[in-house]
């Protein structure tokens, strides 16, 4: 495992941004949270929302719920809930939530280059579901805000389910996996898992990587095969396969090393 770690670390430092390197330093025990906060805050707008290339495909300045959801993920994974950047993010989310409970891009985003999955009225279930997921993970007590988002996702579920879209399933499974007490839980999870894991019971690399990236606990009975898959899929340069470019590949490597460190495997 030491060789795996060293190769991955080298890949991260050769290809990562200053934020990613700060996160790697923290995972390795060489850095503190304050440096992550300083690096992360560069991407936060005065309104508390997030933009400026934190999600690599959107370099614009207008706060985006997609990018804000990504920021919540970093806040959760690196233990930054007791910070001003998180407080400002929550205030932004309360102010920017729509009447019907969703979060969506404003027209302002159209002034900037943006990928096709961003923009007003596009993938509102993904934006809302991912924000709700991380708020639940962070044990946020903003009940009214979260209840409104939940009602929105439930109201549009039948329409969304008919599309059988992968990213919609990612958002719904991410949020509803944390809400097993709801009567809608079995139906929503069955639908999303049918899309995300079409071959039932087969744990593959994509499933393991997805659980690590989403910070979902891997069951004890699946731990051995998960470690094997991590070893088998490390590539010659130290990184792991990822469909969305070097920036996201670096994050995957950081999360894998974080997972191994937390499990005391390295």
Instruction: List, in sequence order, every residue forming a beta bridge with 44; answer none if it has no partner.
Output: 50
pTM, two decimal places = 0.94
User: 99 by DSSP, 3-state: which?
Assistant: coil
149 has a pLDDT exceeding 60 = yes
Q: Place 62 in a pLDDT band, splitting at 50, 70 and 90.
A: very high
Q: What's the pLDDT score for residue 188?
A: 97
Question: pLDDT tens, 77-87?
Answer: 999 999 999 99
Give CA–CA dist 211/175, Å, rounded. 13
Segment 199-210 shows an average pLDDT of: 77
Q: Which domains does the chain have, with CATH numbers?
A: 32-156 (1.50.10.20)
As a whole number, the mean pLDDT across the chain is 95
200 has a pLDDT exceeding 60 = no
Segment 200-208 shows an average pLDDT of: 75
Residues whose CB is less than 8 angstroms from the CB of residue 14 and which lie 6 or more positions away in sequence, other chains included: none
44 has a pLDDT exceeding 60 = yes
């Amino acid at each position: 495992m030491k060789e795996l770690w060293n190769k991955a670390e080298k890949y991260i430092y050769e290809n990562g941004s200053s934020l990613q390197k700060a996160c790697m330093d923290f995972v390795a025990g060489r850095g503190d949270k304050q440096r992550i906060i300083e690096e992360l805050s560069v991407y936060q707008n005065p309104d508390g929302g997030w933009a400026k290339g934190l999600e690599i495909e959107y370099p614009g300045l207008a706060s985006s719920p997609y990018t804000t959801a990504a920021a919540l993920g970093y806040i959760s994974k690196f233990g930054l809930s007791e910070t001003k950047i998180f407080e400002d993010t929550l205030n932004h989310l309360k102010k920017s939530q729509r009447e019907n409970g969703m979060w969506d891009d404003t027209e302002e985003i159209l002034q900037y280059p943006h990928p096709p999955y961003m923009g007003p009225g596009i993938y509102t279930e993904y934006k809302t579901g991912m924000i709700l997921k991380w708020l639940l993970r962070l044990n946020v007590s903003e009940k009214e805000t979260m209840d409104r988002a939940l009602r929105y996702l439930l109201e549009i579920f039948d329409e969304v389910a008919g599309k059988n879209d992968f990213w919609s399933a990612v958002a719904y499974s991410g949020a509803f996996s944390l809400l097993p007490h709801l009567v809608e839980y079995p139906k929503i999870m069955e639908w999303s898992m049918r899309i995300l894991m079409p071959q039932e019971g087969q744990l593959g690399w994509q499933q393991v990587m997805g659980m690590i990236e989403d910070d979902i606990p891997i069951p004890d009975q699946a731990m051995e095969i998960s470690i094997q898959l991590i070893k088998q899929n490390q590539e010659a340069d130290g990184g792991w396969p990822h469909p969305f470019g070097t920036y996201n590949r670096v994050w995957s490597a950081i999360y894998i090393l974080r997972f191994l460190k937390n499990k005391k495997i390295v």
